[in-house]
């Protein structure tokens, strides 16, 4: 039986299972492993055939054995090296240095954390949340350290609320590889410095970035100018239209006092016509037959959306945008006059979108996953935990431990 488990644990001489201790009442099974070598290679300097100084008992949690918690216990040799004169514990083949879980259990923990809240994973395994976070932090950081960002050219920067309250993280996405590159607390120009430094650590160069897609906030523009000096800024259409929706809603709210029916029309005015319900169709047809300011505001908003339907036709987009700006400036609706000023100021970057074809759509698309990340990090006070989960599920990390349940044929199919 010991031979079977030696093979099942993937051990090779001089390591072998010498005893299996099944403690049914305690719900656990303990595999006693021994290294029977008389002399070993020094783990520090590599000198072969060095004497063993002593053996120290250690224990690792492993994947479950049926429904029982499984442990590996071993007296791990320390080599007393004659060459470098250091006494050093040898590295065991089933766990990384200093870990209390075997590599397979760590890989399983990582796989679970991509689908479940950390608290639930900890509960499932009967360990503290902290232990799960330590495993996660270690492997996410180790995997990220090996990521290569040398080819990064086109990025987006986006702010996300980190948790309830007023904390924000900025997400930098690689729009070509469609992955999260970097996430950091804050949303100011300094945030870009942190990004540029992180990019350099991963073999990239902020000066090589050609395009950055942004919302219209001033801080990110300043950060781009300073840290990505060769990048052209494209403003994200979604954020531009969102400003028009805000202006529209300001007009509607001001007018509700005179026209009560406008109270119920909010969603109809904000939604795409294709998504209107039967009731919203009736409401919007009513609105369009009125001479209300809200009706005019809605037409302005629709016209701005129309600009972004131009695809890559930059000439047509330029004509439509310029006529929109002059319409909005004359429209006698204060929120849209202000928006016209904003849009005129950002005109080049808005039109740049039609050349670059970039948007923050990829980052927006991560929203669902970021929400899941927030749920998985819920109850943990730091942004660091949220960011670790974001990397785990959005960064396409190539060097995370492989899920031990995924067998070779399925990997080949993936
Ligand atoms: Zn040595």
How does pLDDT run across 346-381, given as a tens digit for each residue?
999 999 999 999 999 998 888 788 887 777 777 666
For 233, residues 6+ apart whose C-beta sits below 8 A from its C-beta are 211, 212, 213, 214, 221, 224, 349, 352
CA–centroid distance, 42 to ligand 1, in Å, is 5
The total domain count for the chain is: 3
CA–centroid distance, 93 to ligand 1, in Å, is 19
Specify if 117 maps to a domain: yes
Are 368 and 227 contained in the same domain?
yes
CA–centroid distance, 9 to ligand 1, in Å, is 28
Residue 63 CB-density burial (10 A; 0-12 exposed, 13-18 middle, 19+ buried): middle
CA–centroid distance, 17 to ligand 1, in Å, is 27
Are 21 and 134 contained in the same domain?
yes
Residue 288 CB-density burial (10 A; 0-12 exposed, 13-18 middle, 19+ buried): exposed
Specify if 248 maps to a domain: yes
CA–centroid distance, 82 to ligand 1, in Å, is 7
State the pLDDT confidence band at 3, using cuts at 50, 70 and 90: very high
pLDDT of residue 340: 98
Mean pLDDT of 171-193: 94
CA–centroid distance, 299 to ligand 1, in Å, is 78
pLDDT of residue 49: 96
Q: Out of 198-202, 232-236, 360-364, which region has the weakest mean confidence (pLDDT)?
A: 360-364
- Domain ranges, residue 134: 2-142
CA–centroid distance, 352 to ligand 1, in Å, is 61
Over 60: is that where the pLDDT of 411 sits?
no
CA–centroid distance, 193 to ligand 1, in Å, is 42
pLDDT of residue 366: 86
pLDDT of residue 250: 97
Over 90: is that where the pLDDT of 312 sits?
no
Are 124 and 203 contained in the same domain?
no
Between 372 and 30, whose confidence is greater?
30
Over 50: is that where the pLDDT of 283 sits?
yes
Q: In angstroms, rounded to a whole number, what is the distance separating the alpha carbons of residues 402 and 141?
A: 15
**Do the beta carbons of residue 113 and residue 132 sit within 8 Å?**
yes
Are 252 and 218 contained in the same domain?
no
Last-in-domain residue among 310, 337, 356: 356
Residue 85 CB-density burial (10 A; 0-12 exposed, 13-18 middle, 19+ buried): exposed
Per-residue burial over 26-56, b if 16 or more Cβ lie within 10 Å, else e, is eebbbbbbbbeeeebebbeeeeeebebeeee
Specify if 409 maps to a domain: no
Are 298 and 196 contained in the same domain?
no
CA–centroid distance, 48 to ligand 1, in Å, is 8
Whole-Å CA distances, 223 to 26, 248, 277, 346, 358: 58, 30, 42, 16, 19
What radius of gyration do the chain's Cα atoms show?
30
pLDDT of residue 413: 44
CA–centroid distance, 98 to ligand 1, in Å, is 20
pLDDT of residue 414: 41
Q: pLDDT for 81-133, tens place per residue?
A: 999 999 999 999 999 999 999 999 999 999 999 988 899 999 999 999 999 99
């Amino acid at each position: 039986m010991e031979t079977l488990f030696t093979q099942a644990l993937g051990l090779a001489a001089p390591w072998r299972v010498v005893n299996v201790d099944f403690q049914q009442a305690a719900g656990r099974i303990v595999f006693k492993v021994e290294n029977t070598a008389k002399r070993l290679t020094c783990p520090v300097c590599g000198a072969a055939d060095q004497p063993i100084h002593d053996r120290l008992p250690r224990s690792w949690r492993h994947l479950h054995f049926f429904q029982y918690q499984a442990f590996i216990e071993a007296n791990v040799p320390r080599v007393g090296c004659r060459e470098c004169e250091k006494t050093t514990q040898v590295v065991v083949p089933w766990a990384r240095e200093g870990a209390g879980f075997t590599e397979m259990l760590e890989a399983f923990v990582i796989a679970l954390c991509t689908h479940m809240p950390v608290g639930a994973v900890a509960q499932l395994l009967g360990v503290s949340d902290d232990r799960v976070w330590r495993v996660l932090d270690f492997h996410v950081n180790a995997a990220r350290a090996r990521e290569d960002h040398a080819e990064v050219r086109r990025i987006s920067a986006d702010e996300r609320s980190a948790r309830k309250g007023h904390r924000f993280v900025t997400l930098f996405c690689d729009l070509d590889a469609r992955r999260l590159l970097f996430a950091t607390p804050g949303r100011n120009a300094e945030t870009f410095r942190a990004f540029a430094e992180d990019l350099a650590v991963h073999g990239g160069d902020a000066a090589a970035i050609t395009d950055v897609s942004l919302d219209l906030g001033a801080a990110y523009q300043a950060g781009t100018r300073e840290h990505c000096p060769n990048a052209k800024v494209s403003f994200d259409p979604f954020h531009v239209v969102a400003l028009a929706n805000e202006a529209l809603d300001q007009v509607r709210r001001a007018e509700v006092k005179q026209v009560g029916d406008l109270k119920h029309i909010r969603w109809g005015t904000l939604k795409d016509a294709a998504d209107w319900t039967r009731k919203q169709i009736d409401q919007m047809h009513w609105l369009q037959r009125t001479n209300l300011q809200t009706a005019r505001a809605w037409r302005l908003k629709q016209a701005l959306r129309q600009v972004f339907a131009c695809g890559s036709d930059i000439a047509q987009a330029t004509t439509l945008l310029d006529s929109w700006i002059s319409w909005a400036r004359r429209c006698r609706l204060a929120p849209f006059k202000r928006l016209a000023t904003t849009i005129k100021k950002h005109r080049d970057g808005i039109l740049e979108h039609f050349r670059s074809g970039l948007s923050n759509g990829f980052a927006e698309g991560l929203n669902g996953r970021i929400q899941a990340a927030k749920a998985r990090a819920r109850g943990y006070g730091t942004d660091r935990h949220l960011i670790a989960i974001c990397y785990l599920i959005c960064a396409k990390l190539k060097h995370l431990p492989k899920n031990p349940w995924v067998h070779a044929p399925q990997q080949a199919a993936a």
